[in-house]
Amino acid sequence: MSPIAPAQQQSLVSRLTDACGGSYTPETRRKYFISGPQWAGAYEGNALFHAPTRRPVTFEKVIEEYGKIGIAYWCTHDTDVIPPEQLGKDGQHEIVARIRKALADNGLKCSMVTTETFHHAVFAAGPAAESPEIRKYAAWRVCNTVEIGHELGAQFAVYWPGTLGYQIQGAVEETQTLRWYAESLNAACHRDVEVAASKGRPTMKHCLEAKPFEPQAEILLPTSDAMLGFIASGLLDYPDMVGLNPEYLHELMWGGAPRAALARALTAGKLWHFDINDGYRLKHDVDIAVGLVNPLDWLNVLVLLRSHGFNGPFNLDYKPPRTTSNWGVFAVSFPTAVDRFITLWEMAGEVMEDSIIREATAALRAGSGVSGNDPRELFEANKELMTLHELIGHRLVQILLGLHRGRVYLV
Ligand code: XLS
Ligand code: MG
Ligand code: MG
């Protein structure tokens, strides 16, 4: 192939993207409770060892592009859009007014707001640092975010505590730090109750997000299960207002099964918000887009969520790769991520209706009809049925690959 001159590259990428097919219209995409984070659309490719590969983009641009793609909801950290020195001042009010206009102009809603309590130098010792004035500042920040959320009509507030942990062992007293962390959540919920009452709006759902490592070596609430324990610990003044925002990859990072973590959150009635992405076990927070690494696991995750009536928000908390251009972020990365999610969600519906899986599952649950207390006899009576476990796995892969429609590979 001859070299592709820079001016020809976008049209080549567009042509190949179109040739992939399998995309949904913006109208169809808008029917799902899918949210696009400001920080994902605006991610410049920078990290510890990574210089940026993309130019900065404004929230107006992100919202406009999400609108064109058909991503109906937008969410943000406070400082993704408001410089820290403007928080709580006139600058904040002007920016919030501009956000409201951009959302209205492009037909989007704000679903969630979250507070950045991890990036700025002030949070070097975390959101529950020893210094009382830093904790007071953290509490003020989460309360301010609650106010922004009410102004933007958000239903959810998310908390990823970032550096709630330590690099140096012995430097932090864990129980005290957790108490202090609870204080800022209590302040946020309390402020929410006040603002909701004054505005005649419902209170928000406050969702904790765990990550097992990064940016600290040791994290005090490393998993969604740890967060459930924290919610039930008695340290929270409003435990009913606090639930979870699990992130798929964050559960995989510690070696857990995301589906099992989600199941535990469901049984606790605390699965309220879900960050969707993909990646690898026991590796870093690579935030790859949904379905690019573990589509079979994703299919199973969505079967679980569909069968329990979970309907979002599904938050596209991933990072377009550094190899994707500014243009590619909205031309390729977001539309394809949304379309893979919709496909897997609809496929999960197909799994639930599949006559083979249904009958196999029902048969396993029916058992053999042979009862008694002889374990050998019980095993023997069920052993042929249990072969269905493997058949169910085969059928799921067939559905994922489209082989259930009779497609075979001829050699
Ligand atoms: C970081 C988290 C972050 C949260 C919101 O790893 O995923 O992006 O979702 O602060
Ligand atoms: Mg996240
Ligand atoms: Mg992540």
Neighbours of ion ligand 3 (CB under 5 A): 249, 285, 287
> Which atom of ligand 1 lies closest to the CA of 115?
10
Residue pLDDT, tens place only, 154-178: 999 999 999 999 999 999 999 999 9
What average pLDDT does this structure show over 123-134? 97
Residue nearest to atom 10 of ligand 1 (CA): 160
> Which atom of ligand 1 lies closest to the CA of 247?
7
pLDDT exceeds 90 at position 84: yes
Q: What is the pTM of this model?
A: 0.97
Distance in angstroms (rounded) separating the CA atoms of residues 40 and 23: 21
Q: How far is the CA of 25 from the centre of ligand 1 (A)?
A: 28
Instruction: Give the tokens for residue 354.
Output: 């599949």
Q: How far is the CA of 267 from the centre of ligand 2 (A)?
A: 21
Q: How far is the CA of 293 from the centre of ligand 2 (A)?
A: 17
Residue pLDDT, tens place only, 32-70: 999 999 999 999 999 999 999 999 999 999 999 999 999
* Residue 316 pLDDT: 99
Q: How far is the CA of 308 from the centre of ligand 1 (A)?
A: 25
Residue 74, SS3 per DSSP: strand
Distance in angstroms (rounded) separating the CA atoms of residues 317 and 297: 18
Q: What percent of the chain stands above pLDDT 90? A: 98
Residue nearest to atom 5 of ligand 1 (CA): 160
* Residue 81 pLDDT: 98
pLDDT grade, residue 411 (50/70/90)?
Answer: confident
Helix-, strand-, coil-residue percentages of the chain, each rounded to 5: 55, 10, 35
- State the chain's mean pLDDT as an integer: 98
What average pLDDT does this structure show over 289-295? 98
* Residue 33 pLDDT: 98
> Which atom of ligand 1 lies closest to the CA of 160?
10
Residue pLDDT, tens place only, 345-358: 999 999 999 999 99
What average pLDDT does this structure show over 337-347? 98
> Which atom of ligand 1 lies closest to the CA of 158?
5
pLDDT exceeds 90 at position 270: yes
Report how far Cα 321 is from the mean position of its chain's Cα atoms. 17
Residue pLDDT, tens place only, 4-39: 999 999 999 999 999 999 999 999 999 999 999 999
Alpha helices in 1-76 (DSSP H): 6-20, 26-30, 38-41, 59-69
Distance in angstroms (rounded) separating the CA atoms of residues 401 and 241: 41
* Residue 410 pLDDT: 85
Q: Which of 29, 107, 41 has its CA nearest to residue 332? A: 41
What average pLDDT does this structure show over 175-198? 98
CB 75 within 8 A of CB 315: yes
159 phi, psi to nearest 5 deg: -130, 105
* Residue 107 pLDDT: 98
Count CB neighbours of 120 within 10 A: 12
pLDDT grade, residue 328 (50/70/90)?
Answer: very high
* Residue 397 pLDDT: 98
Out of 74, 111, 112, 114, give the residue to mutate to test ligand 1, the one with the largest number of ligand atoms within 8 Å of its CB.
114
No. of H helices and E strands in the chain?
A: 17, 10
Out of 141, 156, 209, give the residue to mutate to test ligand 1, the one with the largest number of ligand atoms within 8 Å of its CB.
209
Which residues, at least 6 apart from 214, have a Cβ–Cβ distance to it below 8 Å?
A: 284, 285
Residue 275, SS3 per DSSP: strand
Residue list, ligand 1 pocket, CB within 6 Å: 77, 114, 158, 160, 209, 211, 247, 275, 285, 317
Count CB neighbours of 352 within 10 A: 14
Q: How far is the CA of 382 from the centre of ligand 3 (A)?
A: 42
pLDDT grade, residue 326 (50/70/90)?
Answer: very high
pLDDT exceeds 90 at position 359: yes
Q: How far is the CA of 386 from the centre of ligand 2 (A)?
A: 38
pLDDT grade, residue 114 (50/70/90)?
Answer: very high
Distance in angstroms (rounded) separating the CA atoms of residues 21 and 121: 45
Q: How far is the CA of 20 from the centre of ligand 1 (A)?
A: 31
